[in-house]
Structure 1
Amino acid sequence: MKNFRIEAIILAIGLLLLGVFIEKGFSKFAEKDRSVTVKGLAEIEVPANKVTWPLVYKSLGNDLGRLYDDIKRSNQTITGFLKEKGLTEQEISVNAPEIIDLAAERYGNNQNPANRYNVTTVITVTSDKVDLIRGLISEQGELLKRGIAITSGEYQYKVQYEYTDLNKVKPQMIEEATKNAREAAEKFAKDSGSNLGKIRQANQGQFSITDRDPNTPYIKKIRVVTTIDYSLEN
C-alpha cells in the first residue's frame, strides 16, 4: 500500500510537470507566430535626363517630284536650325516621310482632291540636353520665318521625357523605405506592449517613375513601397 502511494505521488508530480512544460511550449509557440507586417514608402522628385522631341510638318501637293525637293529643303532647314542651337548630328534623326494618296483612298468622299498627296515628315531629336530642348520647343516658332510650320497636338508625336539613372537612387530609396517601415513597426509593437524582433520576411516592391503632374512632365516622381514582416516578442 505504501509503494502504491509513493507511485501515485510520483505520477501526480510527473503529470503536473508535464502540464507546466506543455503550457510553456504552447506559450512559446504562440509567441513565435506573433508578427506584424508593415509597409514603408519612399518618394523623390528628379529632373528628367533624356528627352525625345518629334518635329512634325506636313506637305501638300500633286507633284511627287516637287514635293520630294520641298521636303529635302525643309529637312535641311530644320536640321540647320537645330545645329545652330547646339545639337549634334547624332542627336537628330530624319524619318522617312509618310505619304497618303488621297485620290487612291477607297472610302474617301473626295475623289478629285485639290492636293492629291498629303505627306507627313518627322524629324526626331533624342538628347540628354533636356533644358536646351525645352528652350528650343518654345522657340520653334522661329521656323515659321524660314517657311516651315511645325505641327503640334497629335498624340503619337508628343514630347517624351525620361529618367534613366534609377540605379543611382535605388539604394538610398530602399534605405529610406526600410527605415519608415521599421518606425511603423516599432510604433505598433509599443502600442501592443511588445518588443520588435527580427525581420522575418521582406519584399522590396516595384519602383515606379511617373510625371510629377500633367504640366511638368520633365519632373519625374520615383516611388517604391517595401513590405516587411517583423516578429514580436514579449
Structure 2
Amino acid sequence: MKKIYTCFACGFPIAFEETEVPKACPGCGAPRSQFLEEPWCGSIDKRRIHVDPPVVDPDRDPFDLSFHPAKDFIPQKGDGRVRRWIMRYHKGQAEEMRSFYEDLFGWDIIDVEGTDPENPVMYCATGPGTADWEPRVCSFGYGFLVPVSEEWGDQPCFIVEVKDIDETVRKAVKCGGKQVKGKFELLGDTYSVIEDSEGNLYCLWELPDSVPDYCIQGVINTGAQ
C-alpha cells in the first residue's frame, strides 16, 4: 500500500509503497523511525501531516557537516545561479573537439538543432540526470561546445541565469565589472556577455517566460511522480 511519510526531523515528505520505503530520510538522513505516516491521498500536496522545518542557525559552525537547513536563497531563485558552461572550438574543428571529450570522459554530445552542421553548437551531457529535472535533456552538469565567434568570444565561461539582463548589467558595473557585449539573440534566447572585476568573462541568460517553475524552483524526486 502506498503511503506518505513525513520526516519529523526535517519535515521532508516522501511517498512510497510500504515495501519500498527508504531506511533513511532523503532530506536529512534521519532513520525511518522518525517518519510520520498517513495514507496516500493522490498527491503529496494534499497530505494532512506537516512538520515545520528546522530554523536556520546563523551561528552554525560552517565546518560542521552534519545535517542542517540550507541557507535560504529564495529571493535569488532564478537570478544568479550558474546554469551551464561554454567551451570554444575553432571553426572546422568540431569533430576533433567532439571526439576529445567523448573519448576522455564518455560525454554524450549532440548537435543542437538549427545550428550550422559544419560548426554546430554541441550539447554535452556529462552525467546522468533525473526524470523530473529538465526532462528534455536529462543530464547532470551540462554545457555546450560552441565555435569561436563574435557573440561568444574565445574564452570558456559560465552561463548565469538572471531575471533581467539590463538590471544585472547595471549592478555589475556598480560592482566593478563591465558589459563587453550587449544583448543578443541565439536559438530563441537572450544573452549578454559581461566581465567581472578581475577580467573573467561570463554570459548572462535572461530567463524566458516559458521556463517552467520546476526549472527555477528545483525539484527533488519524492517518489510521488
Larger radius of gyration: 1
**Counting helix residues as a fraction of each chain, which structure ranks higher?**
1
TM-score after normalising by structure 2: 0.19
TM-score between both structures, scaled by the size of structure 1: 0.19
